[in-house]
Amino acid sequence: MINNFNGGNDVGYFVNAEPGVKLYAEDLNPKGGKTIVFLHGWPLSHKQFEYQFKVLPRMGYRCIGIDWRGFGQSDKPFDGYHYNRLADDIHAVIRSLRLDRFILVGHSTGGAIAIRYMSRYSGEGVSKLVLIDAAAPIGFTAETADRLLKEAAHDRPKMMRGITETFFFQYITEPFSDWFFRLGLEAAGWSTEAVINLLRDENLYADLSKISAPTLIVHGIHDKVIPFSQAQQLNQNIRNSQLIPFHYSGHGLFWEERDRFNRILSQFIDLPRRSGIQSQENGAGSRNDWELV
DSSP at 64: E
Pairing of strands 35-39, 21-28: unpaired
The CATH topology of domain 2-270 is Rossmann fold (3.40.50)
Domain ranges of the chain: 2-270
pLDDT at 288: 67
Comparing CA positions, the residue from 14, 8, 72 lying closest to residue 40 is: 72
The catalytic residue positions are 108, 223, 251
pLDDT (tens digit per residue) in 77-130: 999 999 999 999 999 999 999 999 999 999 999 999 999 999 999 999 999 999
Residue 291: pLDDT band with limits 50, 70, 90: confident
| 7 pLDDT more than 80 | no
Decide which of 244 and 289 is more confident.
244
pLDDT one-digit tens code per residue, 158-171: 999 999 999 999 99
Which is it for the CA torsion 202, 106, 92, 189, positive or negative?
positive
Give the ranges where the chain is alpha helix by DSSP (H): 50-53, 83-96, 109-120, 142-167, 174-185, 189-201, 228-237, 253-256, 258-270
Question: Averaged over 14-33, what is the pLDDT?
Answer: 97
What SS3 class is residue 80? coil
Q: What is the pLDDT of residue 239?
A: 95
Phi-psi region of 260 (alpha: psi -120 to 50; beta: other; left: phi over 0): alpha
Q: Which is nearest to 161 in space by CA: 139, 183, 128?
A: 183
Burial class (CB in 10 A: 0-12, 13-18, 19+), 259: exposed
pTM: 0.93
Q: In which band, very low, low, confident or very high, does the pLDDT at 254 lie, cut at 50, 70 and 90?
A: very high
Q: Which of 145, 257, 140, 138 is nearest to 204 (CA)?
A: 138
pLDDT at 276 over 80: no
